[in-house]
Structure 1
């Protein structure tokens, strides 16, 4: 039975304003797990907020691949009680060739060994370009996974993988137990955004078409994705609700996704 979590990046403005209040509001919705981002930058704040709200952080995002001192990030993860650290973003310009993929995979494998020495696992989170970008007709994501050591975990962002052209239920089935977590999000899937990429500096510096894709995201079950089929294909995976952006009150959207999962995903527990 897989629990459900929420990526705190979804409520980043609220976290920046008052992390304690933001986490408490998510706990009121019903979440007992959260997925913090850049947790090594404010570990004490997160520790306090999580303890007060009665939530835990089994997973967390941090820019580990490019970190000069990955040990500091892993130490912060251990302090927060995490079991899995995930790097959320390597820009599209570094996923262009077979050599690019090899370099990233080697670094991920190295970091997985470092994490394991601290009792942690390490993994990677995709966007659409790992599926849009191809080498010899194959998505670079496939090449990447083939070169990973067995201990490396994956967090599949099911929305962006779909945008990138992947058959996500089939992808999840093929990856099996390597998928430790999935980002559950829904929205409008438009072929026009498949090849529209953000800047190399930030996933948030995007053309207007991609900005609209962010804002058109919906609570689970209200968009174009077959979320039920996606969930069924990864029964072992932690479900992590996420919105890149939302036109309404994002806490309301998160609550709707939480309620939909509770009613429609047989694998979800609190």
Structure 2
């Protein structure tokens, strides 16, 4: 695995809101060499300057803003922060993943955004939660049925934890989606809705098997909620994942 381990900045959203530069510095000190922002339109130039100074690359970015702002404005901000992987991390009604018609509408939306992204030299992807996994369409997880409707250039960022919460055998799911998956959200915990996450390696997720199923994908650590010190959990996660890569 040659790509550096990344971290989704939503993990540290509270601290980030008060002191972005210190937070990014702490992430770099832990050993992370890449980050995944969640709002590329928030001072993109300033973000890029700090990230460059710290040696942090941008593995990709979430971009809810694509669903509410002028896409060209959002793509310009993403170009400034320095990535070509643009991820829609939700914002689509859960019910759309329960029917064929809903999946068709979702695919049309993502394919349309992908066409616009291509004009900026970028690719659009989709990030799952449990509600795209739990419903089944013809005996398959809804996300798999959606993948059949997506243009070839549209990729997936699989949130491995939420896929497990939704009932998926995650390594098997990744195997079936091979070629679509460019990034993984690597997280751990009890695999129970509403319970806080743990450092990667401290929960019940089969992390080694998951990583082996998508060896070329970006590894992006995220803790949606954490019952312990979040920076300690990020450090433990980085140490664990580094040990797997070195084994």
TM range (shorter): over 0.9
Secondary structure at 1:34 match in 2: strand
| TM superposition shift of 1:33 | 0.6
CA contact (8 A) 1:65 1:107 kept: no
8 Å CA contact retained: 1:35, 1:57: yes
| C-alpha distance in 2 between matches for 1:117 and 1:111 | 10
Structure 2 residue aligned with 1:140 = 142
Q: Work out which of the residue numbers 159, 169, 174 in structure 1 matches 2:161.
A: 159
2:70 and 2:97 map into 1 onto residues whose CA distance is 23
The residue correspondences of 1:223-262 to structure 2 (distance < 5 A) are 223-262=203-242
1:100 is displaced (CA, Å) by 1.1
**Deviation of the 1:133 alpha carbon:** 2.1
State the match for 2:202 in structure 1.
222
Offset from partner CA, 1:228-268 (integer Å, 9 cap, x none): 0000000010000100011111010001000001001359x
- Cα distance in structure 2, aligned partners of 1:266 and 1:121: 31
Match of 1:188 among 171, 187, 190: 190
Q: Do the aligned partners of 1:19 and 1:45 also contact (CA within 8 Å) in 2?
A: no
Closer, same or farther: CA 8–68 of 1 in aligned 2, 3 Å: closer
Find the aligned partners of 2:33 and 2:209 in 1 and give their Cα distance: 24
Alignment of 1:1-150 (within 5 A): 1=1, 2-64=3-65, 66-89=67-90, 90-150=92-152
Structure 1 Cα separation of the partners of residues 46 and 81 of structure 2: 10
Distance 1:102 1:119 in 2: 25
Q: Does the residue aligned with 1:171 lie in a helix, a strand or coil?
A: helix
State the alpha-carbon separation in 2 of the partners of residues 153 and 259 from structure 1.
28
- Note the aligned Cα RMSD (angstroms): 1.6
Task: Compute the displacement of 1:148 (Å).
Answer: 0.7
Normalising by structure 2, what TM-score?
Answer: 0.94
Normalization by structure 1: what TM-score?
A: 0.86
- Once the two structures are superposed, residues 72-122 of structure 1 have per-residue CA deviations (whole angstroms, 9 ceiling, x without a partner) of 111111111102010111342332321111111111111112111111111
Q: Secondary structure at the match of 2:34?
A: coil
Deviates more, 1:47-56 or 1:236-245: 47-56
**Structure 2: distance between partners of 1:35 and 1:86:** 10
- For residues 16 and 133 of structure 2, the distance between their equivalents in structure 1, rounded to whole angstroms, comes to 31
Deviates more, 1:136-145 or 1:173-182: 136-145
Other structure's SS at 1:155 match: strand
Unaligned runs of 5+ in 2: none
1:162-198 C-alpha deviation (Å, 9 max, x unpaired): 00001110111111121110001000024xx4xxxxx
Range that drifts further, 96-105 or 49-58: 49-58
| Unaligned 5+ runs, structure 1 | 194-209
Are the equivalent residues in 2 in contact too, given 1:126–1:156 (CA < 8 A)? Answer: yes
Partner SS, residue 27 of structure 2: helix
Could you say which structure has the greater relative contact order, defined with CA pairs below 8 angstroms and 6 or more residues apart? 1
